[in-house]
Amino acid sequence: MTKHFIQQFRDRVMGLPITKQEMKRILGHIMNVVSGSRGDESICVHKFDREVIQQDPKPHRRDEDELWIIVRNGNLITTHRRSSKRTFNTNPISMKVDRVRYSFI
Residues pairing with 75 in the sheet: 72
pLDDT score for 1:
87
Q: Which tens digit of pLDDT belongs to each residue from 53-102?
A: 999 999 999 999 999 999 999 999 999 999 999 888 888 888 899 999 99
Question: Number of structural domains, the chain?
Answer: 1
pLDDT score for 63:
94
62 within 8 A of 53, measured Cβ to Cβ: yes
pLDDT score for 10:
93
Q: Which tens digit of pLDDT belongs to each residue from 26-35?
A: 999 999 999 9
pLDDT score for 84:
93
Residue 24's domain spans which residues?
3-102
User: Is 52 a residue whose pLDDT tops 90?
Assistant: yes
